[in-house]
């Protein structure tokens, strides 16, 4: 089963074009230069339009093997 729909792919593609052109702006109004940021903006726009895009990853991450030190 596909992770992303065709509509999401098209949206990201157009966002990447806007980035290359230099017209893509971030939420703060600055020009986007990062490829990763451009993809994130494209997926977010697709999500708002109702395209098939998985939910954003939650803030929780797996902890490393190190144990947390406790004070005695």
- The pLDDT tens digits along the chain (72 residues) read 568 889 999 999 999 999 999 999 999 999 999 999 999 999 999 999 988 888 877 766 666 667 777 777
Burial 54-72 (b: 16+ CB within 10 A, else e): eeeeeeeeeeeeeeeeeee
37 belongs to a structural domain: yes
8, 52 contact by CB (below 8 A):
yes
CA atoms of 40 and 35, how far apart (whole Å): 9
41 belongs to a structural domain: yes
Number of independent structural domains in the chain: 1
The residue range of the domain holding 21 is: 6-49
71 belongs to a structural domain: no
Element (H, E) at 12: helix 6-21
43 belongs to a structural domain: yes
57 belongs to a structural domain: no
70 belongs to a structural domain: no
Give whole-number Cα distances, 4 to 21, 34, 38, 46, 51, in Å: 25, 21, 16, 10, 8
pTM: 0.69
């Amino acid at each position: 089963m596909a992770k992303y729909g065709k509509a999401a792919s098209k949206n990201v593609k157009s966002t990447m074009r806007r980035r290359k052109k230099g017209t893509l702006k971030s939420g703060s109004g600055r020009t986007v230069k990062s490829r990763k940021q451009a993809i994130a903006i494209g997926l977010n726009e697709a999500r708002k339009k109702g395209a098939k895009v998985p939910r954003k990853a939650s803030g929780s991450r797996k902890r490393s093997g190190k144990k947390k030190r406790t004070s005695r």
